[in-house]
Amino acid sequence: MKIDLPYLSSILNVFLDAETAHITVSDFETNGIRIQSEHLPSLLDEKFLFHLQLALENSLISNQKLRSSDLGSIGIKMGANGHVVLTGTPIRLTQQGHDFATALANKEVLTRIKDELKDAPFKVIFDGSQKLLEHLMKKKLDALLG
């Protein structure tokens, strides 16, 4: 499966839009993101699972103890047959996750990354998003300072 940057951005936006420091996995569904498989509700949606695991692997999210070791650390328990139990564990964006979410929330950054770096490794996408956002913010600051 390929990374869908607008979809990943929508997952990260749930954290940005929250009025609390932590959310739970169930909050994604409350915000319109399908978390359960359409055909087998006891399983996770594959697209959601893929992108959530990317967020974990790249330290974009953690639990409130700042751990992001596996799905269990963020409240997703998977049985041997793939059936899922959501435990309601509070999760949060890490600083790195917040930086990436903020970059992707910028439409110009998201469009350029999506169009020009869509097949790049995640590290290149992440670093590129930060550099693009920094460049855009520098231009704004230069305009403010005249």
Which helix (H) or strand (E) element contains residue 85? Answer: strand 84-86
Under 8 Å between Cβ of 9 and 110: yes
Mean pLDDT value across residues 98-117: 96
Q: What is the pLDDT of residues 52-83, one digit of tens each?
A: 999 999 999 999 999 998 999 999 998 888 78
The alpha carbons of the chain give a radius of gyration, in whole angstroms, of 16
Q: For residue 25, which amino acid is it? A: V
Mean of the per-residue pLDDT values for the chain? 94
Residue 127, pLDDT above cutoff 80: yes
> What CA–CA distance (Å, rounded) separates 146 from 142?
6
pTM, two decimal places:
0.92
Under 8 Å between Cβ of 30 and 98: no
Mean pLDDT value across residues 103-108: 96
